[in-house]
Chains A and B, each alone.
Chain A
Amino acid sequence: MRNVRSAQVTKVLGAVLIIVAAFGACRKDDPESPTPEPPGTGPTSPVVFDINAVPYAQLSTYNFFQGPMADQQPSYGVLPFEPISTLFTDYAKKKRFVWMPSGVKAQYAADGALLDFADGTVLIKNFYYDNVQPGGDRRIIETRLMFRRNGAWEFADYVWNAEQTEATFDLVGSNTAVEWVDDNSVARSIDYRIPSHAECATCHKSYSQPVPIGTKPQNLNGDFAYEDGSMNQLAKWELMGYLESGFPSGINTVVDYHDVTQDLEMRVRSYVDINCAHCHADGGHCDYRPMRFAFGATIDPVNLGVCVEPDDPIDPSQTHIVSRGNTARSMMYYRINSNDEAVRMPLFGRTIIHEEAVDMIGEWIDGLSPPCP
């Protein structure tokens, strides 16, 4: 093993291959995956995670990544994953990873419920932009962690330095200007928001308790292009020893809302699940409004707001949350199409309009009939 530090908690895997992400967006100079250890000998994760000492002051202390940290190459035991439908965050790109200490694994609870994770579990999420101007480089902005200690989730956030060599703990929150050229060659400029603890907790909470959002079977039950080939993520987690076997095979699964070959309503339901349901669900920040956007709930159009009158329209002409066939009278459309911070939805995590989502939801509303009574 390389660079094995004095890990207070180590991960020993009795199984298979080392897993490294293979993202389509990876640059050509991404290093090769580490050499697989032979089965049975049990490679040891180099991750440093003393549950009594975290969060560390520096991201590098955890040893989540091997080689230059900016290459985002996960250390052994740090497993990349991606929800099938993803949260929009001002077009930021993301790499997500999960790490667990030795001997623990997550349990399946329900298709639409968070996996039941053990203490010591860490969820890692890098936020970055490519083609950042003027140099056209990648810029990793922050690495957000959620880790579980004493049966509860806690937050940490690490802000990367300009040299992209280190990231420093910061839960005060700050803004940073980002100018980049996106994948469609559109030049964009935003004042990117790095969240404070209170902002983290606003989305990541259920009945005031911090919780993750994306790590539900419904969001993970899809293939991921691992370094050694594509595989269903739940199966990979099981293989890694990160998920208890015996979970159901027929999981009610979201679709990738980017995938235009999928059913439009399924795309919309998948979108609002991952982008909106953390607030608009029982115990969420805005659970006092009538919408219930979780994927399992939106099988009922009423929970999507279809023909539901808003409590208090911003403009009285917004007669319904979703007015069938009529975007101009649909409060949902109005809010996702606004940048005014007192109007826009989602409230957090975006300062610019997610144009593809507006188009998709507009198309869906336009296609609904008959008009609301």
Chain B
Amino acid sequence: MKRLLLATTTVLGTLAAMAQNSCATAYTVTAGTYTITLVDGTEPPTLVCTGGPTAAHAEWYRYTPAADHSLTITTDLPANVGRDTRFHVYTGGCAALACVGGDDDGGSGYLSTASLNVTQGVTYLIAFDDRWEDDGFQFRLIEEEPVEELVGFHSEPISTSGYSICVVDMNGDHLDDVVSVGANNIRIHHQQAGGGFVQTDISTTTADNTPSWSLAAGDIDGNGFNDLMYGGGGGVTFMMADATGTAFTEVSFPEYVFCQRTNMVDINNDGALDAFSCHDVDANVFYLNDGNGALTFNQGGFGPTCGNYGSVWVDYDNDGDVDLFVAKCGCDPEDILYRNNGDGTFTDVAPSLGLNDTHQSWSSAWGDYDNDGDMDVVIGSSSSGYHKVMRNNGDGTFTDVNTGSGFDLFTGQSIEWNTRDFNNDGYLDVIGAGALMMGNGDMTFTMTTIQPSNGPIGDLNNDGFLDILNGSTVHYNNGNENHWVTVNTVGTTSNVNGIGARVQVTSALGTQIREVRSGDGFEFMSSLNSHFGLGADTEIDEIVVYWPSGIVNVVHTAEVNSTVTIVEGVFEGIADEVYSPALAVFPNPVQQVLNVSAEKALGNAPVTVHEVSGKLVLSGTLQNGRLDVSGLVPGVYVLQVISEDGNLRTRFTKQ
């Protein structure tokens, strides 16, 4: 038995008991204060907007604003001290509920409060459930002026099963799919071209190791279907997709590995995708590909000690090969950065770069936050410590810019830190600790809170705005007016996913870079598609892909709000160019004069030299195949020659 009293207005008279026991019988409410005497409605919501399990009972209300408002729903009221409440807010009607808000403990104690922008005429359903207790309480609806929302999400359920930690294309159509994994099942929700998903369950042998710590994906055997790497507490299992993507073969390794972050990456740059796992209690391990998809276990050379949590393969020094950064914690918390020397060897350079922090960190977010052509980093803390924001100076060194960055005042701790552009403004944001640190493009960040927590990131409705999977809930980005472009990379000489490729998009707001990474943040596997927000820009000047092979693709015909698939070394159109290795430079690295040659003599052909970021630093002509580069500062450059055979490009390093 319950009563509902309208405490602040006198519009309503006696209310029918039990009226709000189900969604269909939700009681209509407006701004004001109401009393629930007992949470005993027999239709608890099956879609939980707050995270956590479902409840046994709920009370339902219906709210339709007469004008656009910011609506605050709160139980954080003096009458409720000591109570423990939770509520969910939906649109879509009872038959197709979609979360737009909700809260568990946002108020004082265990009380709840949430604000969201509501639209005139739209009906919102509010369900208070008894996740914690049945006892009654008051709630209040407050209408205020709408507030500008930096980024918003709405959510819908998806029937994942097991470890729901992967969003990646599994069938080669470059639409992100949802992959959830159990010990003997792989469930794929294939995103359809017209929207929505088709669920497929593929039975597997019972995996020796399940992805309890992390999952990575990539096409190890190059058959066109992505394989999965399970990072378990006792070792690594690979699930290799067959040539039709309809079955998986288990490849488990017997060696003990207390996996943390796993990655797929071409470590030795032989064109075949290898794999790597952080080891919590011993030296890191990696699995080298023989070129035919057969992997061998290796240990050593990438950090000799324990405490390895969050690996990211990143080209921090713009020399065209992947380096390894590991955020560390626990027994040896000193972070490491193994520079790829380009000759198959790696050297830990973290101490010399000021990146060997000893704070407790499980992951780091590497991205070009100031769009100056190099990878900066936010190393997030996981335990009562400081975050670290480091600007890449472009010459292989870093400057600590934490003070004033926004992270200096943000005390949230998390094992999971990652970066994407969630509002498509052309500046990378950082997600972690229940917050979205919105990048301002100048190494500073503005904190905002969002409904989803960390999870795998991808575009699950192909609208150009990035979505987040949390368990069995997809949080769809509400989007905005900003433009975007998504670049899909198909390797030919390099690995087929293009993992390790640097993708560069230039538009009026500047030049942005991404790296194709399998495995960033701590636990989750996010899309292999490279997503760029473009702000208000309506034109894309150029897209450049620097492949691990050294091949460079340049595309000038891309449109905003579109998806561009670039195949390594293949012309996509008349205005596009590709570098052929036939353009040779020596010496490389060079100190004074570069000798440039191609199949046909280049003579005094016009040349340009750009920084990797796209900035033009030299323009002129060759002098009988020679170019004086003594005036350039040390670094990596792109050389473009206008030859009889078209534009040829290559990269060189100035010492």
Contact = CB atoms under 8 A, between A and B. Distances in A.
Interface of A: 172-173, 175, 193, 196, 198-199, 201-202, 205, 208, 285-290, 311-312, 315-317, 319, 328-329, 340-342, 347, 371, 373
Contacts of A172: 256
B392 interface: no
Interface in B450-470: 453
B212 interface: yes
Contact of B330 (A175, A288, A341): A288
Nearest to A316: B51
A193 B209 CA distance: 13
A347 B330 contact: no
Given A312-B414, A316-B434, A285 B331 contact: yes
B233 A288 contact: no
B48 to A, nearest CB: 11
Contact of A198 (B52, B82, B110, B281): B281
B51 A317 contact: yes
Contacts of A285: 281, 330-331
A175 B256 CA distance: 10
Given A196-B256, A340-B212, A311 B105 contact: no
Contacts of A199: 256, 258, 281
A287 to B, nearest CB: 8
B281 A371 contact: no
A287 B281 CA distance: 14
Nearest to A317: B52
Contacts of B104: 316-317
Nearest to A340: B212
A311 B331 contact: no
A205 B331 contact: yes
B234 A193 contact: yes
A315 B384 contact: no
Contacts of B382: 288, 311-312
A358 to B, nearest CB: 17
Interface in B328-350: 329-333
A369 B258 CA distance: 38
Residue among A173, A193, A288 with the highest chain B CB neighbour number at 10 A: A288
29 contacts: A173-B234, A175-B234, A202-B258, A202-B280, A202-B281, A285-B331, A288-B383, A288-B384, A290-B384, A311-B384, A312-B414, A312-B433, A315-B51, A315-B52, A316-B51, A316-B52, A317-B52, A317-B131, A319-B105, A319-B110, A329-B110, A340-B212, A341-B213, A341-B232, A341-B233, A341-B234, A342-B233, A371-B82, A371-B109
Nearest to B282: A198
Given A341-B212, A341-B233, A288 B256 contact: no
Contacts of A201: 281
B51 A208 contact: no
Q: 7 closest Cβ contacts across the A-B interface? A: A341-B233, A342-B212, A198-B282, A288-B360, A196-B256, A173-B256, A341-B212
A371 B105 CA distance: 14
B415 interface: yes
Contacts of A328: 132
Contacts of B232: 341
Contacts of A198: 256, 258, 279, 281-282, 306
Nearest to B381: A311
Contacts of A196: 256
Contacts of A289: 383
B413 interface: yes
A350 to B, nearest CB: 12
Contacts of B234: 173, 175, 193, 341
A321 to B, nearest CB: 13
B219 to A, nearest CB: 26
Interface of B: 50-52, 82, 104-105, 109-110, 131-132, 210, 212-213, 232-234, 256, 258, 279-282, 306, 329-333, 360, 382-384, 413-415, 433-434, 453
Residue among B110, B233, B256, B415 with the highest chain A CB neighbour number at 10 A: B256
Contacts of A202: 258, 280-281, 306
Nearest to B132: A328
A328 B330 CA distance: 27
Contacts of A347: 233
A342 B414 CA distance: 15
A193 B232 CA distance: 14
A346 to B, nearest CB: 12
A198 B308 CA distance: 13
A173 to B, nearest CB: 4
A244 B60 CA distance: 71
Contacts of B383: 288-290, 311-312
Contacts of A371: 82, 109
A326 to B, nearest CB: 8
Contacts of A205: 331
B105 A312 contact: no
A340 B383 CA distance: 22
A82 B169 CA distance: 55
A316 B453 contact: yes
A311 B416 CA distance: 12
Residue among A208, A317, A319 with the highest chain B CB neighbour number at 10 A: A317
A341 B523 CA distance: 13
Contacts of A311: 382-384, 413
Contacts of B212: 340-342
Contacts of A329: 110, 132
Given A317-B51, A317-B104, A347-B233, A312 B213 contact: no
Given A317-B50, A317-B52, 11 more contacts: A196-B256, A199-B256, A289-B383, A290-B383, A312-B383, A312-B414, A316-B50, A316-B434, A319-B105, A319-B110, A373-B109
B213 A342 contact: yes
A301 B233 CA distance: 31
B330 A286 contact: yes
A315 B132 CA distance: 14
B182 to A, nearest CB: 12
Contacts of A317: 50-52, 104-105, 131
A173 B279 CA distance: 15
A288 B332 CA distance: 11
A288 B329 CA distance: 8
A288 B233 CA distance: 20
A288 B359 CA distance: 9
Residue among A205, A311, A315, A328 with the highest chain B CB neighbour number at 10 A: A311
B313 to A, nearest CB: 22
Contacts of B433: 312
B620 to A, nearest CB: 55
Contacts of B331: 205, 208, 285
A172 B256 CA distance: 7
A286 B282 CA distance: 15
A205 B280 CA distance: 14
Nearest to A328: B132
Contacts of B306: 198, 202
Contacts of B51: 315-317
A341 B210 CA distance: 9
Contact of B333 (A193, A288, A341): A288
A340 B331 CA distance: 23
Nearest to B257: A198
A312 to B, nearest CB: 5
Nearest to B106: A316
Nearest to A286: B330
Nearest to A371: B82
Contacts of B453: 316
Nearest to A310: B413
Contacts of B329: 288
A319 B132 CA distance: 13
A206 to B, nearest CB: 11
Contacts of A316: 50-52, 104-105, 434, 453
A269 to B, nearest CB: 23
A108 B213 CA distance: 41
A125 B550 CA distance: 57
Nearest to A323: B110
